[in-house]
Amino acid sequence: MKLSGLPLQAIVASVLLATTAVAEHTSNWAVLVCTSRFWFNYRHLANVLSMYRTVKRLGIPDSQIILMLPDDMACNPRNAFPGTVYSNSDRAVDLYGDNIEVDYRGYEVTVENFIRLLTDRVGDETPRSKRLLTDDRSNIFVYMTGHGGNEFLKFQDAEEIGAFDLADAFEQMWEKKRYHEILFMIDTCQANTMYSRLYSPNIIATGSSELDESSYSHHADNDVGVAVIDRYTYYNLEFLEAHVQDLSSKKTIGELFDSYEFDKIHSTAGVHYDLFPGGEEAARSRLITDFFGNIQNVEVDRAKDLALEEELVELSKTIAMLRRKEAEEDAAYHNVSSIPASVPTAPPRKIQGAKALTEDDWWTKKIIGATALAGCALLWGVGSFLEA
């Protein structure tokens, strides 16, 4: 069985490589993490949800977006607009909308789950929607927001992820060939310290503020009652809305970075591409849609490839032959296994369920108790008698 599977995969892989050798990456994923709980952190959820809408607008499907929301703002009793989250006081766009899939929510948003997600060290029972099923041809957009400090980011006010933890997680991803390129974006106080420890290649990182600098919220909505978005995210979105309207946009990451101004953001946004192959130039020339949009170049030009088609027909014949072989082997295997083997079965350990309380042995219990008490009294009596 194993043997017949292997060449099949190899053949398919070789064909795929031949046809898509031009493409830099073959899939796009987004990991969008909010790390703040509680109503007054409404803006952090709004930040993440605006990013969610942006990547969805540019074609990344829900199955390739991992959305982590630690608290429920849309259906929060304090929300005057049930079922909605707004990131602007004009309330033009409902970010929660009608179609949303939250993968990790509530208490599930922990440092452990985040790192497990990145490194794919999860249990067998974890559903696919909670896993980052990337490979070495996947571009990943990682966005984080919350409250942070020098080289840490708080998760739900209860624990922290350190810059070293993050760097190690990315390194493990690189070693496991789980990404092609990563765009890491973080909006928190002293955000730039979070990527300062990265030591893995192919990562472009950007953050909202320098060491000892706070990140600020943009504006509040009086009917919602709290601030609705952060400055850095607001101006990122502004750029994306204005210049990246669809996948045909040729705007580059460099142009996005150039749009960051201290006057607007009120903090010094930072960028990092030390270990990017080709350095600053290559990193800045990457298209925004390489990370925010879904890869589209899967079209095959049929007219030219008569030879290829013939090859494919040949290949499909081989595959059919292999399948048949596999099925035969499978059947043979099943025949073998269907012979009843005298497998020693472990005696089933019974878990005791709830039991009906009865009063049958009530008297027995009473008698035992009385006897025990009487015995103790007797012992004491004998002891004191002997002592006397």
Q: List active site positions.
A: 147, 189
Beta bridge partners of 68: 33, 104
At its nearest, how many Å lie between another protein and the CB of residue 95?
A: 11
Of 229, 232, 213, 211, the C-alpha closest to 163 is 211
Neighbour count for residue 201 (Cβ, 10 Å)? 14
Rounded to an integer, what distance in angstroms lies between the CA atom of residue 236 and that of residue 271? Answer: 14
At its nearest, how many Å lie between another protein and the CB of residue 70?
A: 8
- Answer yes or no: are the C-beta atoms of 108 and 81 closer than 8 Å: no
353 binds another protein (CB under 8 A): yes
**What six digits make up the tokens of 93?**
């766009």
| Piece of 23-31, 79-87, 188-196, 265-273 that binds another protein (CB under 8 A) | 79-87
Rounded to an integer, what distance in angstroms lies between the CA atom of residue 167 and that of residue 76? Answer: 35
At its nearest, how many Å lie between another protein and the CB of residue 348?
A: 4
Total residues interacting with another protein, rule: CB under 8 A: 49
Which of 128, 263, 344, 362: binder of another protein (CB under 8 A)?
Answer: 128
Q: Which of residues 197-236 bind another protein (CB under 8 A)?
A: 223
Which of 2, 302, 304, 355: binder of another protein (CB under 8 A)?
Answer: 355
Tell whether the torsion through CA atoms of 305, 307, 310 and 312 is positive or negative: negative
304 binds another protein (CB under 8 A): no
339 binds another protein (CB under 8 A): no
Nearer of residues 146 and 207 to another protein, judged by Cβ: 146
Nearer of residues 2 and 334 to another protein, judged by Cβ: 334
At its nearest, how many Å lie between another protein and the CB of residue 224?
A: 10
83 binds another protein (CB under 8 A): yes
Neighbour count for residue 114 (Cβ, 10 Å)? 25
96 binds another protein (CB under 8 A): yes
Nearer of residues 188 and 192 to another protein, judged by Cβ: 188
Nearer of residues 343 and 354 to another protein, judged by Cβ: 354
- Answer yes or no: are the C-beta atoms of 163 and 197 closer than 8 Å: yes
Rounded to an integer, what distance in angstroms lies between the CA atom of residue 172 and that of residue 168? Answer: 6
Rounded to an integer, what distance in angstroms lies between the CA atom of residue 185 and that of residue 33? Answer: 10
- Answer yes or no: are the C-beta atoms of 53 and 164 closer than 8 Å: no
List, in order, residues 6 or more apart from 257 with CB less than 8 Å away: 206, 269, 271, 284
Of 187, 179, 229, the C-alpha closest to 206 is 187
- Answer yes or no: are the C-beta atoms of 153 and 161 closer than 8 Å: yes
334 binds another protein (CB under 8 A): yes
**What six digits make up the tokens of 12?**
């398919």
82 binds another protein (CB under 8 A): yes
Which of 10, 38, 370, 372: binder of another protein (CB under 8 A)?
Answer: 38
39 binds another protein (CB under 8 A): no
Of 265, 251, 140, 138, the C-alpha closest to 192 is 265
Which of 24, 136, 157, 165: binder of another protein (CB under 8 A)?
Answer: 157
At its nearest, how many Å lie between another protein and the CB of residue 100?
A: 5
- Answer yes or no: are the C-beta atoms of 170 and 163 closer than 8 Å: no
The Cα-based distances of 24 to 30, 137, 138, 313, 322 in angstroms read 17, 7, 9, 27, 31
At its nearest, how many Å lie between another protein and the CB of residue 269?
A: 29
Q: Which of residues 251-290 bind another protein (CB under 8 A)?
A: none
**What six digits make up the tokens of 141?**
């957009």
120 binds another protein (CB under 8 A): no
340 binds another protein (CB under 8 A): no
| Piece of 23-31, 154-162, 172-180, 237-245 that binds another protein (CB under 8 A) | 154-162
Q: Return phi, psi of residue 204, to 5°.
A: -100, 130
Which of 8, 11, 105, 322: binder of another protein (CB under 8 A)?
Answer: 105
107 binds another protein (CB under 8 A): yes
At its nearest, how many Å lie between another protein and the CB of residue 52?
A: 11
Binding site for another protein (CB under 8 A): 37-38, 70, 72, 74-75, 80-84, 91, 94, 96-103, 105-108, 123, 125-130, 156-158, 223, 327, 331, 334, 348-357
